[in-house]
Amino acid sequence: MTDTPPDMSTAQPVSTWRKVLAGILDFFTIFFVAGYAIGYATGNLTAEGFELEGGPAILFFAAVIAYFVVFSKYLGGTLWQRILKTR
């Protein structure tokens, strides 16, 4: 048995709306998960949600960027890209 990659000419292109939807859902997912996790860890939770300033805010932005880079490059796509099969 040979390990040849599948023929890419038979794969159908993914629709644009699915890619956009995956990106939006990924952003909301990491925004709330990282925001609440960092807010909880640093004591920046409020009655309305979380409020990050200074170091925690920088850590939050780093977590968002790391989510997209690590998942896209090393894990075969972000959470919603994999669910919606855009990758």
pLDDT at site 12: 80
CA quadruple 68, 74, 77, 82: dihedral positive or negative?
A: negative
Residue 15 falls inside a structural domain: no
pLDDT in tens, 15-57: 899 999 999 999 999 999 999 999 999 998 889 989 899 999 9
Q: Is 50 helix (H, G, I), strand (E, B) or coil?
A: strand
pLDDT at site 13: 86
CA-CA distance, 35 to 15, in Å (whole number)? 30
Residue 56 falls inside a structural domain: yes
Total domains, the chain:
1
Residue 83 falls inside a structural domain: yes
Q: For residue 46, what are the domain limits?
A: 35-87
Residue 17, Cβ density class (10 Å: 0-12 exposed, 13-18 middle, ≥19 buried):
exposed
What type of residue sits at position 64? V
Residue 81, Cβ density class (10 Å: 0-12 exposed, 13-18 middle, ≥19 buried):
buried
